[in-house]
Amino acid sequence: MEETIKPSQQNDQTDVRRESISQLVKGRGKEDPQKSGIKKPDNQNRFRLNLWYFVGFFLLISMVNTFLGEKPQTIEFSEFKQKVISGEIKRVELGDKYYVGSSLVQADQQGNQQLGNSTQVYRTIPVNDSGFIGLLDANRVEYYTRPVSFGEMFGNVFLTWILPFGLMMGLWWFLSFRLKGGAGGVMSFGKNKAKLVSEGDTGVTFKDVAGADEAKEELVEVVDFLKNSTKFDEIGGKIPKGVLLIGTPGTGKTMLAKAVAGEVGVPFFKMSGADFVELFVGVGAARVRDLFQEARKNAPCIIFIDELDAIGKSRGASINGNDEREQTLNQLLVEMDGFDSKGGVIILAATNRPEILDPALLRPGRFDRQILVDRPDLKGRKAILEIHSKNVQVDEKVELGKIAAATVGFSGADLANLVNEAAILAVRNNRKKVMQADFSEAIEKLVAGLEKKSRVMNEKEKEIVAYHETGHALMAAFTPDADPVQKISIVPRGLAALGYTMQMPSEDRYLINEEELLGRVDVLLGGRAAEQIIFGRVSNGASNDLSRATDIVRKMISEYGMSDKFKNVYLGSNQTSYLGGMQTSERKEYSESTQNYIDEEIAKTINNRYERTLDLLKKKLDLLHKIAKRLLEIEVMDAEIFNSFLGTEHQAA
């Protein structure tokens, strides 16, 4: 049972904008080939005579001779001699590879004898038999040899020398092409793979970016410098050499870079960090040199390196060094520190793992400006929803403000996916426009998972789930400062959730006090407490609740300094975090006795909060029964129905 779900607890999703449903999305005009700068080849259908036509011609002749030519019956040499003795073979052609004999002799108009059209022809491989000619003479068999024709001689040379050599050259060319990763010959490994993006080609400008106003303001200043550098020079100011965009996946770092390319009006070189890394040592450094040489020729310009952590990892992060990656990083450091700031070459990079970057990259003079692209706030989420819903047929009654308030913790990519999922749901329900209910269902799908209609529970399990979720909801309703209940459901969703209670924060929160943290623990323990009160025993459905409650209490004691013994003391681990997410390493900085105290304090705190939860739910036992029975009937209960059960009792509390 997935008990209490909040949007801020969802996993980060990839920044991918899928195309909206055709019935809901307005058509976009096709790209003009003249504007795109792509010219169609005018000689596409022209016939060009080259060496390959000759090769194909001779291969065809060889195949015709091989498959369509006369194929005599091949017999053993001893059998061939026996047919000579018996008189079946009257004429023999002596060749280097084969002896060919015919059973009938005819004469032409000049009296020359030749093989008949309907004769039986035999072929055998010659054997070093000195008496064979005497055998032919004794049986009056005609024998002869004929000179090798030019065609046969050329065919032998072609098949023996030219064709194998040509195949070897073709294989060498193919392998060199593949190893290099494209056209240009085997000697162009060091050429950079940067793509030159022209203004307007990205289709994105700063007007299409929302929810990251501070980051956009910093980048607008960079664009302004490239367009009007004289006003900076007059006052003596210098533009930063490098701008690093930092943020969790899906927050819009690449989108901001595309907006810069669409606004800047100067050459924009786009490249991924992985494009520098190659199998051969030294290739990455050569590509860095080539990239910066080309950038200087086209200055003023911008170089954008996406996923910088692919080449910018700290050189002392691991024992097993990678010479190729280190050489590439060293060359990048030299190039960034080597050119003149007045040259107009600016480095723009993006990463979601800043903690593993080499310190030399982050020092002033290289990436002077580091911009955090964070998840959007309420105002930013509404602006993002407005942008992504422009090309979607949305009903006039849809309130994007309510949707933004219900999506706390969503990134820009999450919101784009939300709009697309709502459009898909509208089409599934045979509607011409996206309704408010479609957005609500899409939020529920993204937060809680896909509805599992095939997972059928028996009546006993449904009753346990109903009381479990009602316990969560009642604790949320009667806990001060707890997030209000938005929906209660006993419909299975996701991987293992048999039901869920959805709470929606009324506002964005950045600070939480000790009482509010303990209140969240109470809400998480409400499901198990309800099971124990009603059924006298507990199930495994509270596994996720206990994990999250334990994590909150552990952080209160070890990281937030909220314990009696170690008040105002940080007892966390020496760890590397992934922008507040997954921990990549951990090393404790306290003794074993302290660890024992932390474990005992966690158990003590959770036990005290569980007893408090039991007491509160026992006082609300009648309400617990009413809501759970109603939930069993309708399976999904919204906030309006739930609050109607609470009535004035909730307001007084």
pLDDT in tens, 564-588: 898 889 887 655 555 555 454 456 7
- Provide the pairing of β-strand 99-102 with 485-489: unpaired
Q: Of 61-65, 128-132, 330-334, where does mean pLDDT reach its minimum? A: 61-65
CA pair distance 483, 477, nearest whole angstrom: 8
Q: Highest mean pLDDT: which of 191-205, 287-301, 411-425, 439-453?
A: 411-425
HEC letters along 218-236: HHHHHHHHHHCCHHHHHHC
Is pLDDT at 181 greater than 60 in this prediction?
no
Facing residues of 503 across strands? 485
- Provide the pairing of β-strand 583-585 with 576-577: antiparallel
Interval 290-328: pLDDT, tens: 888 888 888 888 889 998 988 888 876 555 555 778 888
pLDDT at 587: 60
The single residue listed with the structure tokens 């509390």 is 653
The single residue listed with the structure tokens 């307007």 is 200
CA pair distance 344, 298, nearest whole angstrom: 9
Facing residues of 65 across strands? none
pLDDT at 31: 42
pLDDT bin (cut points 50, 70, 90) of residue 148 is low
The single residue listed with the structure tokens 């998840």 is 375
pLDDT bin (cut points 50, 70, 90) of residue 623 is very high
Kindly report the backbone phi and psi dihedral angles of residue 111, in degrees, each rounded to the nearest multiple of 5, phi listed first: 90, 0
Contact 77, 125 (CB under 8 A): yes
pLDDT (mean) for 279-297: 80
pLDDT at 208: 85
Q: Write the CB contacts of 40 (distance below 8 Å, at least 6 apart in sequence).
A: 33
Contact 248, 12 (CB under 8 A): yes
pLDDT at 488: 93
CA pair distance 386, 100, nearest whole angstrom: 87
pLDDT (mean) for 378-396: 92
Q: Of 151-160, 512-521, 559-568, where does mean pLDDT reach its minimum? A: 151-160
Interval 76-100: pLDDT, tens: 888 888 888 888 888 888 887 888 8
Taken in order of first residue, the domains within the chain and their CATH numbers are 66-146 (3.30.720.210), 195-372 (3.40.50.300), 391-448 (1.10.8.60), 459-652 (1.20.58.760)
Rg over alpha carbons for the chain, rounded to the nearest Å, is: 40
CA pair distance 425, 446, nearest whole angstrom: 12
CA pair distance 522, 608, nearest whole angstrom: 10
Q: Which residues are known to be catalytic?
A: 469
Here the tokens at position 594 are 């302290």
Q: Which residue has the higher pLDDT, 118 or 208?
A: 208
pLDDT at 241: 81
Kindly report the backbone phi and psi dihedral angles of residue 195, in degrees, each rounded to the nearest multiple of 5, phi listed first: -100, 130
Q: Which residue has the higher pLDDT, 157 or 568?
A: 568
Strand residue runs (E) in 185-300:
195-197, 242-246, 268-272
Q: Which residue has the higher pLDDT, 168 or 600?
A: 600
Q: Highest mean pLDDT: which of 119-128, 186-195, 304-313, 609-618?
A: 609-618
What value does the mean pLDDT of the chain take?
78
Q: Residue 512 carries which DSSP code?
A: -
pLDDT (mean) for 370-376: 90
Interval 624-636: pLDDT, tens: 999 999 999 998 8
SS3 48: coil
Q: Of 277-291, 403-417, 419-433, 543-557, where does mean pLDDT reach its minimum? A: 277-291
First to last CA, the chain: 28
pLDDT bin (cut points 50, 70, 90) of residue 278 is low
**Angle of helix 459-477 versus helix 621-634 axis, rounded to 10:** 130
**Side-chain-facing half-sphere of 46: CA atoms under 13 Å:** 7
Is pLDDT at 192 greater than 50 in this prediction?
yes
pLDDT bin (cut points 50, 70, 90) of residue 23 is very low
% the chain with pLDDT above 70: 73
Is pLDDT at 113 greater than 60 in this prediction?
no
Nearest Cα neighbor of 190 from 304, 289, 269 is 289
Is pLDDT at 10 greater than 50 in this prediction?
no
CA pair distance 345, 229, nearest whole angstrom: 12
Kindly report the backbone phi and psi dihedral angles of residue 24, in degrees, each rounded to the nearest multiple of 5, phi listed first: -110, -20
pLDDT (mean) for 194-210: 72
**What torsion, rounded to 10 degrees, do the Cα atoms 141, 147, 149, 154 define?**
120
pLDDT at 15: 38
Is pLDDT at 283 greater than 90 in this prediction?
no
Interval 235-259: pLDDT, tens: 887 777 889 999 988 888 988 988 8
Here the tokens at position 619 are 């006082």
CA pair distance 216, 204, nearest whole angstrom: 13
pTM over 0.75: no
- Provide the pairing of β-strand 345-351 with 242-246: parallel
pLDDT bin (cut points 50, 70, 90) of residue 32 is very low
Q: Of 247-251, 336-340, 366-370, where does mean pLDDT reach its minimum? A: 336-340
CA pair distance 314, 307, nearest whole angstrom: 14
Contact 622, 470 (CB under 8 A): no
CA pair distance 90, 103, nearest whole angstrom: 5
The single residue listed with the structure tokens 């990656």 is 325
CA pair distance 454, 54, nearest whole angstrom: 65
Here the tokens at position 324 are 């190729």
pLDDT (mean) for 525-546: 93
Count CB-CB contacts under 10 A for residue 226.
20
pLDDT at 578: 52
pLDDT (mean) for 130-150: 82
pLDDT (mean) for 395-403: 91
Angle at 313 between CA 307 and CA 318, to 5 degrees: 145
Q: Residue 308 carries which DSSP code?
A: G
Nearest Cα neighbor of 204 from 56, 381, 17 is 17
Contact 79, 96 (CB under 8 A): no
Q: Is 326 exposed, middle or buried (0-12, 13-18, 19+ CB in 10 A)?
A: middle
CA pair distance 93, 310, nearest whole angstrom: 72
Residue type, 128: N
500-503 β-sheet, strand order: 4-5, 500-503, 485-489, 636-638
pLDDT at 320: 53
pLDDT (mean) for 151-169: 71
Contact 241, 336 (CB under 8 A): yes
